[in-house]
Amino acid sequence: MWSFLVASVMLATPAPAEAPRLVFLGDSLTAGYGLDAREAFPALIQERIKAKGWTWTVVNAGVSGDTTAGALRRLDRIFRRKVDVLFVCLGANDGLRGLPPEASERNLRAIVARGKRDGAQVVLAGMRLPENYGPDYRARFEAMYARIARQERVLLLPFLLEEVALHPELNQNDGIHPNAEGTRRVAGRVWSTVEPILERRQRGR
């Protein structure tokens, strides 16, 4: 009899709601190449969320060296659990390898479409390339981000590394990946973009 009563109480108690998830889908810039895991910008965003007393869980889905095609292949695994906000920061490796921007754009559109279809609010971060890639290629590459954001109606952070790229004191020796201070600045720009989204959703819970 007691076991029946215990079981009845357990069944009547609702399971705690799972914390909403903010997933950063990216490459080494997201993964925090050359840094301690706690210094990667998604981890810094999690700290800011915690300071607010919010319940969001941040997932760092950054993979060093990843391309838009590689990230697209990873989506099924990422969406095994509900994603509430998907922050997409990809394309740098496509550009550095000289891949056709048209192919990168198709992959990014597919990623954005998958996120929207699965109920996530999608944010897209743009990238820029060094000048030695030539004005035509750079223009085609950089233009795709604004075009995708406009046509797919998603929020755009125009350049993830704004005011960090090309500043030696904010980057590691390779001149590509931000150091700890540079990453803190990246986190500040990302936070200014995602904070209003998280706050609205937090209030709606």
| Span 20-39, pLDDT tens digits | 999 999 999 999 999 999 99
Q: What is the DSSP string of the chain?
A: -HHHHHHHHHHHSPPPPPPPEEEEEESHHHHTTTS-GGGSHHHHHHHHHHHHT---EEEEEE-TT--HHHHHHHHHHHTTS--SEEEEE--HHHHHTT--HHHHHHHHHHHHHHHHHTT-EEEEE-----GGG-HHHHHHHHHHHHHHHHHHT-EEES-TTTTTTT-GGGB-TTSSSB-HHHHHHHHHHHHHHHHHHHHHHHHH-
Catalytic choice (27, 66, 104, 177): 177
Would residue 167 show up in a list of annotated catalytic residues for this protein? no
Structural domain includes residue 102: yes
Print the domain residue range for 39. Answer: 18-204
**Residue 176 pLDDT:** 95
Asked, for residue 3, whether it belongs to a domain, the answer is no
What mean pLDDT value characterizes the chain? 92
Q: What is the CATH number of the domain that holds 39?
A: 3.40.50.1110
Rounded to two decimals, what is the model's pTM?
0.91
Residue 167, domain member (yes or no): yes
Q: Indicate if 76 belongs to the active site.
A: no
The total number of structural domains in the chain stands at 1
Is 28 tagged catalytic? Answer: yes
Residue 6 has pLDDT above 70, yes or no: no
Q: Which of 28, 84, 94, 104 is catalytic?
A: 28
Residue holding tokens 């990422």?
78
